[in-house]
Structure 1
Amino acid sequence: MQSTNHSIPHVDMRRYDEDFQAFTKDVGNGYEEYGFIALTNHGVDTQLIERALDTCRDLFALPEDVKMKYHRPGQGGARGYTPFGTEIAKDAKHVDLKEFWHVGRELEGEPPYPQLLPNVWPEELPEFKRDMTLVYQELDKLGNKVLDALAVFLEQPRDFFRDKVNLGNSILRPLHYPPIIDEGTPSVRAGAHEDINVLTLLVGSREPGLEVLAKDGTWVPVTIIEGAIICNVGDMLQRLTNHKLPSTTHRVVNPPMPYSAKSRYSIPFFLHFNPDVLITPLSSCISEENPQKDEPITADDYLMERLREIGLVK
């Protein structure tokens, strides 16, 4: 079932500086109700976003044999190129219709965690490193501001999350959904799923298709103000908040013509905890009405468990 009666709330990022308490309420209430919000006036340069999306188009237009040079088998897709038809949503029967590239945190010298692998950059497209590094840094900063508000909303110190995500294994994922040749395919561009991480920030896409599952069981097409950045709760934050903040199921459906005949590009940023953070439900989110639902687990152990479920780690 599909609904057009409601969509996700918009939150003005200018309130972070102008009225932090109101901003906190906007963010917290939006997440508690929907698990998704759209960030407006976020300060990430529109020209950078447009340029980065164009660079992604150029990246995925490279010949298949060139892209496969940057595929790293055995890494679970942690860095570099993952070819079309690799990933499958948890419990799904058909692979997703997409290919992608993973960019991690750029670090100087020895990484503080072995999980922070070196990035893989295509020598054929030097601007890819420039653009993706800039987008990564901007979305990392933006995600931290959202987390500042969530910390206060969850009755924690404002800087509660800062030292828990400063060296997180966060991932920027340039994505390409190719044109749909077979209109009768049982596969979709991205099957119904929840995100594994803490927060996801999505820039792009210029095409329709993203839908979220509302509490009443209807699928809601995500319609946002042009230039807004979608930001949703992931499973790690849901666990930390004892499910007070929901990790909402979402999907990317195959759109109708003429959109299905075109490629779709987007650049989600998956903000992660540092690998050794123990995800323990916050006491402020536990009550008689909402008893503790999950046992503590480290961020890295949880990530590995979930990557096996979606087929990226065997």
Structure 2
Amino acid sequence: MGTDVLDNMESVNIPKFIPSNRSEPFHPYLRRSDKEIEEFTRRSLDIASRILSLFSVIPELPEDYFSEQHAYKDPSEAGQWKYVPLVENGIICNVGDSLAFWSAGYLKSTIYGVVRPPDDQAHIHRLGPFYFASRFVSEDSEDARPVTGLEYVRERVKNYHSVSDYADMKGKKFKVGNLEIEDEAS
């Protein structure tokens, strides 16, 4: 069972505002707002670091465990798509696959992507700035290879698109490179 919904999304990936990224191509349309974009990304990282510190407390890890890794999709209980409403003057935090993996499934990742919302929510326009807190891995780290995020996410999504009941996934294993992952779906 898959989905016939086509991707109708536009995005711009802006790297961190650090000296080594200054030569990265930056669309002229956005160039005039680079100070505001830099301020947004730095503030987002600050907020993400605080949230990551809280996530570290839950599995009793050192408080800076996840935030240091970020220097500079399980279904709902009912198996249904849920609309995440606007939080006035707030933020919405979506735990990704990496945190789900690092926390041994204690923090649940969301199956995300292009999903057609239910009819009663289809009229709601979704638009917003998003900040993805990506882990920093030095090239000489043993964690730098053999699995990329793209490889992992592709395998995970492929694993989920072929099932109709996510609860059946609990305990199932799939491989990405030399890494074997046991699904914690419940």
TM range (shorter): 0.5 to 0.7
SS in 2 for 1:131: helix
Return closer, same or farther for 1:307/1:241 CA change in 2, 3 Å cut-off. Answer: closer
Inter-partner Cα distance in structure 2 for 1:220 and 1:263: 15
Inter-partner Cα distance in structure 1 for 2:149 and 2:104: 18
Structure 1 residue aligned with 2:97: 235
Inter-partner Cα distance in structure 2 for 1:143 and 1:156: 17
Q: Does 1:271 align with 2:133?
A: yes
Structure 2 residue aligned with 1:303: 149
Identity percentage over the alignment? 21
Inter-partner Cα distance in structure 2 for 1:255 and 1:131: 35
Which runs of structure 2 are paired with 1:41-120 in the superposition (5 Å)?
A: 92-108=3-19, 111=20, 118-120=23-25
| 1:103–1:120 contact (8 Å) kept in structure 2 | no
Inter-partner Cα distance in structure 2 for 1:151 and 1:255: 34
The one of the two structures with greater contact order (alpha-carbon pairs below 8 A, sep at least 6) is: 1
SS in 2 for 1:99: coil
Letter in 1 for 2:32: E
Structure 1 residue aligned with 2:81: 219
Return closer, same or farther for 1:118/1:242 CA change in 2, 3 Å cut-off. Answer: farther
Inter-partner Cα distance in structure 1 for 2:31 and 2:131: 21
Letter in 1 for 2:49: N
Query: How many Å apart are 1:239 and its aligned residue?
Result: 0.8
Greater percentage in helix: 2
Structure 2 residue aligned with 1:128: 33
Output one character per residue of 1:252-311: Cα deviation in whole Å (capped at 9) or x when no partner. Answer: 536869x75x9742211111111349xxxxxxxxxxxxxxxxxx954783314147668x
CA RMSD of aligned residues (A): 3.6
Letter in 2 for 1:269: Y
SS in 2 for 1:146: helix
Inter-partner Cα distance in structure 1 for 2:107 and 2:68: 21
Please, which runs of 5 or more residues in structure 1 have no aligned partner?
1-90, 168-193, 195-211, 278-295
Inter-partner Cα distance in structure 1 for 2:154 and 2:128: 24
SS in 1 for 2:131: strand
Query: How many Å apart are 1:222 and its aligned residue?
Result: 1.4
Structure 1 residue aligned with 2:52: 147
Greater percentage in strand: 1
Which runs of structure 2 are paired with 1:32-47 in the superposition (5 Å)?
A: none
Q: Say which is worse superposed, 117-126 or 239-248, in terms of deviation.
A: 117-126
| 2:137–2:144 contact (8 Å) kept in structure 1 | yes
